[in-house]
Structures are given as structure tokens and as C-alpha cells.
Amino acid sequence: MKLPNIVILTILFLGSCKPDTISSNFKQILSLNEYTIVMFIAPDCPLCHSLSTPFSELDKEYSNIQSIGVISGNYYSPMEINNFATETKFKPAIFRDYTHQIARQLNATVTPEFYLLNAKGEILYQGMMDDRIEHLGSYKQQWKNNYLADAIQLINEGQLPKIKKTNPIGCSLEY
């Protein structure tokens, strides 16, 4: 009788354990700037192809904020990643999250999913870039909410983002 209880407690304990810190390499990158915007990407996700150029434009527009693309897992070869960056004109550096540690730490669920982080790795905004995507396969021709750009603008004005989280729509991030 005692054995199943111990097994269940062990599973619950191990399942709830997360590293307390973001990986040291990623943390070093974050510490280079006061703020960083992150886009979780997957080279085979059509939405990543659609939103990579606008993300690169944000990188160009807000030069005081570091921009990074993150690819979680080891599903994509360097050639696939290079082709993606070339085809989409993706300008920010791409960080490989081979063990999904960054995705888990930030609770990323889809690609593309966007984050605004401070130098300590704290999440200031998480979710969609804007509201152009209603659901998978449905795009708006015009959209009114620019969630990520608004969050960046408020940070640049010394304020915290008013909207801290939106529900991202995209391709499932595979763990």
C-alpha cells in the first residue's frame, strides 16, 4: 500500500520541478540589454513565416531593445534554420533551445509566441504580436491591436505594459 503512494508523490514532485533559473547562456544574452523581445519560431510553421518579417521590422525600429528568435528542440537542421532565416529575411540572432529549457521556463506553447523580457528574464509581456490572426488559417486584412509594439513603446516610456498576456495562436510547440 505504501509503495503506490510513494510512486505517486515522486511523480508529482518530479513533474513539478523546474529549474529556478533560465539557462546560463540565455541569461547571459538577456543581460546584454535592459530589454529583449523573443519570438519562438519553427521553420516549418506558416505563421512563423508570416510574422518573421514584421518581427524583424520591430527589431529595426526599436534598436535599443535586443531581439532574439528561439528554436526549441533539435528537430531542425542548421540548413533548415538558415533557409528559414534567408527566405523570411529574419534578422535577429537565433538561439537554439535544444532541451526545451527556455520554452518550459517561459511556458511557451506555440510558434510564433512573443515575449518582452527584462535583463533578469522576467516576463513583461507574453503572447501574440498583434491581433491579425483570428484563428489558425484566418488572417485579418487590418488589425487594431499591436500588443508587442505597444508593450515595447510603454517600456520605452518608463511604464509597464498595460496588457501583460494574450493567448497566442500558432503551431503547437512540441516538447
pLDDT of residue 73: 95
pLDDT value, residue 5: 36
Over the stretch 65-94, which tens digit does the pLDDT of each residue have? 999 999 999 999 999 999 999 999 999 999
Between these two residues, 129 and 15, which has the higher pLDDT value? 129
Q: Give the global pTM.
A: 0.84
C-alpha R_g of the chain: 17
Question: pLDDT, tens digit, for every residue of 12-50?
Answer: 333 333 444 567 889 999 999 999 999 999 999 999 999
Q: Quick check: 38 and 103 in contact, CB under 8 A?
A: no
Question: CATH for 21-172, among 1.20.1250.20, 3.40.30.10, 3.90.79.10, 3.40.640.10?
Answer: 3.40.30.10
* CA max distance for the chain: 63
Kindly list the distances between the CA atom of residue 133 and the CA atoms of 70, 115, 138, 146, in Å, as whole numbers in the listed order.
Answer: 21, 17, 6, 12
Q: Given pLDDT bands bounded at 50, 70 and 90, which one contains residue 52? A: very high
Q: What's the pLDDT score for residue 133?
A: 82
Q: Average pLDDT in the 164-172 region?
A: 96
DSSP percent split of the chain into helix, strand, coil, nearest 5: 35, 20, 40
Residue type present at position 146:
N
**Average pLDDT, rounded, for the chain:** 86
In angstroms, rounded to a whole number, what is the distance separating the alpha carbons of residues 110 and 157?
29
Which pLDDT score is estimated for 4? 38
**Can you tell me whether residue 100 is helix, strand or coil?**
coil
